[in-house]
Amino acid sequence: MKKRQSEKGIRWLSGYDFSLLFVVLFLCVFGLIMIYSASYYTAETKLHNGMYYFRHQLMLYGIGLAVAVAASLIPHKYYFWLVWPGYAAAVICMILTDFTKLGINTNGQTRWMRVTSTISFQPAELVKVAIILLTAFMIHRHTKGMNGAKWPLIILGLCAVPGVLVLKNNLSSGVIILAIPIAMIMLVSENKKRRIAFWCMLAAGLALMIAIKAMPLDTLIGIGERIEDAGILKAYQLRRLYIWNTPMYDARGDGYQVVQGLYAIGSGGVFGKGLGASMQKLGFVPESANDMIFAILCEELGLFGAISLIILYLFLLYRMMMIANRSRDVFGSLLVVGVMAHIALQVILHIGVVSGILPNTGVTLPFVSYGGTASLFYMGEIGMVLSVGRDNPEMVLPAEKDGRS
Amino acid sequence: MRRKLAFTFILVAAVLFAYVVYLLILMRNSGEEYQQRILSQQGYDMQALAFRRGNITDRNGTVFAYSEEVYNLILDPSVILYTANPKKPQPNREATVDALVSVFGYSRDEIEAVLDEKPDAPYVRFAMQLSAEEKERFLQYQTEYNTAKDSSKKRLHQDRVTGVWFETEYKRMYPYGTLGCTVLGFSGAESAEGHWGIEEYYNSSLSGVNGKIYSYISPEGDYESVTEAAVGGRTVVSTIDYNVQKIVEEEIAKFKPLHEYKNIGVVVMDPTSGEILGMATDKVFDPNTPMDFSAVVSDEEFEAMTEEERAALQNSVWRNFTVSDAYSPGSVSKELTVAMALEEDAIETDTKLFCDGGETIQGTTIHCHKREGHGMMDVTGALMLSCNDALMNIGTRLNVPTMLKWQRQFGLGSRTGVDLPGEATGILFTEENMSAIDLATCSFGQGYSSTMIQMASAYCSILNGGYYYTPHIVRQLLDENGNVVKNVEPELVRTTISEATCEFMKQAAYETVQNGGGYGARIPGHTVGGKTGTAQKYPIEEQNYVVSFMGFTPAASPKLLVYVVVDELEHEGTDVSSLPVVEFERDIMQRIIPYLGIPEDAEKN
């Protein structure tokens, strides 16, 4: 009896990816150190409590860790049950935020939803998780249908509902919410034509971006004036393009954040000024602990620190890829792929924005940036990935519903 | 799917690697420059924080002067003229100038001139003391304009209202306008410097310390920023009573149109402590607009004036006659002469004196104001009749050194130390230049000069039992939170005369009002003592007189002293009546008594 129990115990934990959990915890601790360093000055001067952001984040990571471990212990087949309630909750929260007084308006954008007088959260983060669950579930049910047009369109249609609601106030999150299902569908779709079209479009978009970014400002303004005359884009939209091309175009106005971020990164050098020694965090880089934390990291730890962090993220993605490959069912596998896509997009967008390669928009760096809601949901996602990673032979999910596709 | 996933992973890795390469290039190409920029923008952040000047209140906390937050308009031409795209030079200039012109109505040329003159200056103080409402109006215009531009279809790449900001400062406010102007003085445009009155004398207490924010790079290359908060000035609680001051000024205003005069001064004191309860002259200005002389001269006249004439005008309007001008006190000082003679045992209280209408000393005849003579009288009678001959008799019984010693004892000839600026000393004789004639005239208040505050303070010592206190106008200094920093206690300088002499002097003054020359000062229900004074001004030929009255109540233990001086009161020939001034004093005292709660101590008839 005793022996069987212990065997069962071992089996119960077999496949549990401790190195993935370790990397995540490492990133979280690293993030806490960076938040402490980046936010101390602002918190001390504005809130008279230098530890404010650090403490808040520490508490959330405590809760987040519990969430992750709990989520990892639930067999992932039970996540089926979360798909539709999660989706419904996401849509309802977005509607409440966008159209009722529960939405908190800051700087003209409504990104937060009030829960109690002291607790509020960003429903966009909930939408991201709900979309991953939904897409994984739909693809699981209609794997073969992914080659056709009907089911991918249904999935994208479902994702577009909360996606558009998010897009209204938060461009970057909206883009991520729509990009995740596309990435997941493209990964399972065997339709060659579509694949070629996808890569062509991606390459074209990339080429356009590189062209705009690399073009001399004078040329861009020249083109911009013609586009404006043709009535395609408005002056203020073009202005953003000019600032993206050359942040110095409006170094004291809309380009301020990017310019200050560049000063931070550029002055850091290869090994940085040393932990805690950033000068730009002293009120010059706005959002130094969340949207711009990578700039402070570069200033303090230099290129060396940036590369180390990137390697950590790559390792994290690699471990997830292994789990996705190992999963015995499509749902589990796609769940992991969705989380991978989410984290990879956040990292690419964050670093791209901070270093001025991409147009300025607020994106947090997973596990490192300050941000209550986001960190809780990230930890939940990691819990789901760990759950899929557990090698549980008893876990057999309902087969794909044939005939419907 | 595995292959595709692996490919995607490699793609992500490639993008991140490309980022690293980009960052490396950025650091190699611009690292140095960016570091320099960081250092330069850190040093840019230096700012002064204005302090708030302390309030001035009356003895009961009524606020006479306070400082209100106002805003200075600062232009930053380096921002307004900023050019990002050489094809469109200075895109913000027009919009910003338009905004300033349309919101505040400034002259366009003036703004353009500033911009052209100092194109690189980050700080040009363009306008001062704007109200919060004006500031809000501009900010609203700016927000609306810039928001509209952001969403407009017109091609305007950087057309924004920018480079204008507001600096907080304080403006001095005097809620009661002209009330107490002579005592308060005023504070200049920057609210940092006091002129005249309490504002000047207590300037260092009223002033706080400017705060500052300064930043520097430590030797380790760390950025340090230090903020020193501004410290507000002390609140000055004066001894002035709002009601007393108001009554005094109202009565002066009533007196003014009915008479001709050169100066009027009124001092109201508490004889027991030397506190000044009210102080005013006929010169009125509004400390809110001290440079506005339209009440005295017309604008055309003012325009036509030379610098010196303007300075003289300002001096005459702002100057405090009661402390800054010395004059011959006249008969009011007879109380002092009698008191010193009693102290020196030169006379007794029952000494008989004879007036034959004048005295001839060293060949010069000095007449009494009653040429036919008062006849025989005692000391009290000499005061009641204000007989010059009798006083000269007393004077001759004293000698020159004794007279000078006692004048100094009564605080004449030197500053009293009152806490107001511009105090005059008055001029006394010296032992070397004082003749027997001078001794005689000094005994009835001619030949030397004193200020109102000197004479009032000397009287206080006679009325309170011989204690000479420094007259003062400030009771307390409070800090920003209303805690007492300093209490100004009555400062005993010296004792003057014995209590017995005091009692006699008070009784004599009471008799003077009851049955003598101060008859007009009687107030039903109250015992009033007092002494009139009519002094000839030099040169005698011009026949100008300083007419005054010193009154106090209750006669036995005075709580209130009112001293009124009218300089160059109108008169017919050599006959000058002190009655208008006596009644003037009575009107003031009669109205003050109920406010101070002095109980009735006499029959009402």
> What pLDDT is recorded for position A4?
47
Using a CB-CB distance cutoff of 8 angstroms, which residues of chain A are in contact with residue B35? Answer: 266-267
Kindly state the average pLDDT of the residues B353-364. 85
B391 pLDDT higher than 70: yes
Q: Give the one of A250, A303, A317 whose C-beta lies nearest to B27's C-beta.
A: A303
Neighbours of A246 (CB within 10 A): 22
In the block, residue with structure tokens 């005023």: B186
CA–CA distance, A311 with B16 (Å, rounded to integer): 9
Distance (Å) from the alpha carbon of B29 to chain A's nearest alpha carbon = 8
Is A249 an 8 Å CB contact of chain B?
yes
**Residues sharing a CB contact under 8 Å with residue A34, sequence separation 6 or more, in sequence order:** A289, A293, A296, A297, A300, A368
pLDDT higher than threshold 90 for residue A23: yes
| B positions 24-43 inside 8 Å of A (CB) | 24, 26-27, 30-31, 33-35, 37-39, 41-42
Q: Are the beta carbons of B87 and A218 separated by less than 8 Å?
A: yes
**Min Cα separation B223/chain A (Å):** 6
User: Residue A403: what pLDDT?
Assistant: 39
In terms of pLDDT, which residue wins out, A251 or B418? B418
Q: Which letter does DSSP use for residue B208 in this model?
A: -
- Within 8 A of A314 by CB-CB distance, chain B residues are 12-13, 16
Model pTM?
A: 0.56
Mean pLDDT within B513-521: 86
Question: Residue A398's pLDDT is what?
Answer: 53
* Segment (H or E) for B562: strand B560-567
Among A182, A223, A249, A267, the residue to mutate for chain B (most B Cβ within 10 A): A267
In chain A, the residue whose alpha carbon lies closest to the alpha carbon of B43 is A279
pLDDT at site A238: 82
Q: Is the pLDDT of residue B30 over 50?
A: yes
Query: Is A328 near chain B, with CB under 8 Å?
Result: no
Rank B65-74, B115-124, B449-458 by mean pLDDT and report only the highest. B449-458
Structure tokens given for B497: 């005369």
* CB-based contacts of A320, cutoff 8 Å, min separation 6: A20, A336, A339, A340, A343, A385
Show residues of chain B in contact with A236, CB under 8 Å: 149-152
Mean pLDDT of B204-208: 86
- pLDDT of the residue at B268: 95
Of A393-397, B136-140, B206-210, B513-517, least confident by mean pLDDT is A393-397
Tell me whether A153 touches chain B (CB under 8 Å). Answer: no
Nearest Cβ partner of A239 from B31, B157, B225?
A: B157
Is A355 in Cβ contact with B23 (below 8 Å)? yes
Interface contact A321-B30, CB threshold 8 A:
no
DSSP A400: P
pLDDT higher than threshold 70 for residue B329: yes
List the single residue in B12, B41, B154 with the smallest CB-CB distance to A344: B12
Q: Which residues contact B344 (CB under 8 A, 6 or more apart)?
A: B398, B402, B406
Say yes or no for a CB contact (<8 Å) between B223 and A183.
no
Nearest Cα residue to B112 out of B139, B124, B157: B124
pLDDT for the residue numbered B605? 62
**CA-based nearest distance B38→chain A, Å:** 7
CB contact under 8 A, A236 and B150: yes
The interaxial angle of helices B334-343 and B436-443, nearest 10 deg, is 110
Q: Which residues of A touch B153 (CB under 8 A)?
A: 231, 234-235
The single-letter code of the amino acid at B575 is D
Could you report the per-residue pLDDT of A222-242, keeping only the tens digit for each?
888 888 888 777 777 788 888
Report the chain A residue with the minimal C-alpha distance to residue B4.
A187
pLDDT at A1: 40
Do residue B84 and residue A321 have CB atoms under 8 angstroms apart?
no
Residue A282 near residue A40, CB atoms below 8 Å: no
| Cα–Cα nearest to B130, from B105, B155, B154, B153 | B105
pLDDT on residue B306:
86
Q: How confident is the model at residue A402 (pLDDT cuts 50, 70, 90)?
A: very low
Distance CA A326, CA A14 (A): 13
Q: Is A263 close to B37, i.e. CB distance below 8 A?
A: yes
Under 8 Å between Cβ of B78 and B120: yes
- Spatial CA neighbour of B284 closest among B309, B248, B236, B239: B248
The answer to which of A365-369, B320-324, B357-361, B432-436 has the lowest mean pLDDT is: B357-361
Length of chain B: 605
ipTM of the complex in this document: 0.89
DSSP H or E stretch at residue B547: strand B545-553
Angle at A222 between CA A220 and CA A227, to 5 degrees: 90
pLDDT tens, residue by residue, B81-132 = 876 566 667 778 888 898 899 888 888 888 888 888 887 777 788 888 888 8
B331: tokens are 């008969």
Task: Quick: pLDDT tens for A330-365.
Answer: 899 999 999 999 999 999 999 999 998 998 888 899
- Answer whether A252 sits within 8 Å of B85, measured CB to CB: no
CB contact under 8 A, A187 and B1: yes
Q: Give the mean model confidence (pLDDT) for residues B43-52.
A: 66
Q: Determine contact, residues B546/B568, Cβ cutoff 8 Å.
A: yes
Structure tokens at A325: 């490959």
Would you give the DSSP letter of residue B526? B
Tell me if chain A has a CB within 8 Å of the CB of B20: yes
d(CA A10, CA A8): 5
A282·B225 Cβ contact <8 A: yes
Least confident of A341-345, B348-352, B517-521, B570-574: B570-574
Q: Which residues pair with B173 in a beta bridge?
A: B66
Q: Out of B27, B154, B156, whose CB is closest to A268?
A: B27
Residues 6+ apart with CB under 8 A from B400: B429, B431, B434, B439
Q: What is the pLDDT of residue A149?
A: 87
What's the mean per-residue pLDDT of chain B? 85
- Would an 8 Å CB–CB cutoff place A85 in contact with chain B? no
Q: Does A236 touch chain B (CB under 8 A)?
A: yes
Give chain B's domains with CATH numbers.
Answer: 35-65+170-238 (3.90.1310.10), 77-162 (no CATH), 243-289+328-596 (3.40.710.10)
- The dihedral through the CA atoms of B517, B521, B522, B527 has a sign that is negative
Which of A229, A273, A306 minimises the CB distance to B20? A306
Q: Using CB atoms, which residue from B2, B15, B38 is nearest to A280?
A: B38
pLDDT of residue A44: 74
Burial category of B360 from C-beta neighbours within 10 Å (exposed 0-12, middle 13-18, buried 19 and up): exposed
User: Which of B11, B12, B76, B217 is most worth mutating to test chain A (most A CB atoms within 10 A of its CB)?
Assistant: B12
A405 confidence band (pLDDT: 50, 70, 90):
very low
Strand B56-57 versus strand B235-238 pairing type: parallel
Highest mean pLDDT among A99-103, B39-43, B143-147, B421-425 belongs to B421-425
Window 87-116 of B: residues touching A by CB (8 A cutoff) are 87
Q: Which residues of A touch B151 (CB under 8 A)?
A: 234, 236
Two tokens at A363?
């994106």
Local structure of residue A397 (DSSP, 8 states): P
In A, which residues are within 8 Å of B27 by CB distance? 265-266, 268-270, 303
What pLDDT does residue A404 have? 39
Q: What is d(CA A172, CA A166) in angstroms, rounded to the nearest whole number?
A: 9
Element (H, E) at B457: helix B452-463
- The predicted pLDDT at position B221 comes to 47
In terms of CA atoms, which chain A residue is nearest residue B21? A303
What does the alpha-carbon distance between residue B287 and residue A194 come to, in Å, rounded to a whole number? 84
Q: Give the closest-approach CA distance of B27 to chain A in angstroms.
A: 4
Q: Which of B559, B569, B545 is nearest to B589 (CA)?
A: B559
> Which residue, chain included where needed, has tokens 């409504």?
A110
Collapsed DSSP state (helix, strand, coil) of residue B204: helix
Please state which of the ranges A71-80, A156-165, B320-329 shows the lowest mean pLDDT. Answer: A71-80
Distance from CA of B115 to the nearest CA of A (A): 19
| Cβ neighbours around A16 below 10 Å, total | 15
What sign does the dihedral B219-B222-B223-B226 (CA atoms) show?
negative
Bigger pLDDT: B383 vs A400: B383
* CB hemisphere CA count around B539 (13 angstroms): 2
Sign of CA dihedral A146, A151, A156, A158: negative
As a whole number of angstroms, the distance between CA A230 and CA A178 comes to 29
pLDDT tens digit sequence for B173-199: 899 988 989 999 988 755 568 889 999
Q: Provide the chain B residues 305-334 that lie in CB contact (below 8 A) with chain A.
A: none
Tell me if the bond preceding B580 is cis, omega within 30° of 0. Answer: no
Distances (CA, A) of B576 to A285, B327, B408, B536, B580: 83, 17, 30, 10, 10
**What is the rounded average pLDDT of the residues B568-583?**
81
SS3 at position B564: strand
| Cα–Cα distance for residue pair A27/A21, rounded to 1 Å | 10
Q: Which residues pair with B360 in a beta bridge?
A: B365
- Chain B residues 222-261 with CB within 8 Å of chain A: 222-223, 225
Peptide bond into B539 cis (omega under 30): yes
pLDDT at residue A91 tops 90: yes
* Mean pLDDT, residues B389-397 taken together: 88
More confident of the two residues B323 and B536? B323
**Which runs of E-coded beta strand occur in B76-158?**
124-130
Q: Give the chain A residue whose CA is nearest to the CA of B83.
A: A249
Classified as helix, coil or strand, A210 is helix
* Mean pLDDT score across all residues of chain A: 85
Instruction: Provide the strand spans (E) within A69-204.
Output: 103-106, 109-114, 120-121
Q: What is the mean pLDDT of residues B435-459?
A: 91
pLDDT of amino acid B155: 47
Over range A153-172, report the average pLDDT: 89
- C-beta atoms of B19 and A187 within 8 A: no
Q: Which two tokens stand for residue A69?
A: 């471990």
The conformational region for residue B602 under phi > 0 = left, psi -120 to 50 = alpha, else beta, is beta
DSSP for B213-273 reads EEEEE-TTS-EEEEEE--BPPPEEEES--HHHHHHHHHHHHHHGGG---SEEEEEEEETTT
What is the total residue count of chain A? 405
Burial degree of B126 (CB within 10 A; 0-12, 13-18, 19+): middle
Which residues of chain B are within 8 Å of residue A229 when distances are taken between CB atoms?
155
Task: Name the nearest CA neighbour of A165 among A234, A102, A230, A96.
Answer: A96
Instruction: Chain B: give the shortest CA distance to residue A119, in Å.
Output: 31
Residues of B within 8 A of A307 (CB-CB) are: 20
Count Cβ atoms below 10 Å from residue A310 Cβ, excluding itself. Answer: 17
pLDDT of residue A258: 86
* Planar angle of CA A376, A378, A381, nearest 5 degrees: 110
- Residue from A48, A187, A236, A345 to probe the interface with B (highest B Cβ count within 10 Å): A236
Q: Is the pLDDT reported for residue B485 higher than 70? A: yes
Residue in B23, B82, B87 closest to A298 by CB: B23
Contact residues for A298 (Cβ-Cβ < 8 A; gap 6+): A264, A265, A268, A272, A305, A306, B23
Looking at the complex, does the CB of residue A386 fall below 8 Å from at least one CB of chain B?
Answer: no
| pLDDT at A390 (0 to 100) | 83
Collect all residues of chain A within an 8 Å Cβ-Cβ radius of residue B155.
225, 228-229, 235
What count of CB pairs under 8 Å joins A to B?
A: 129
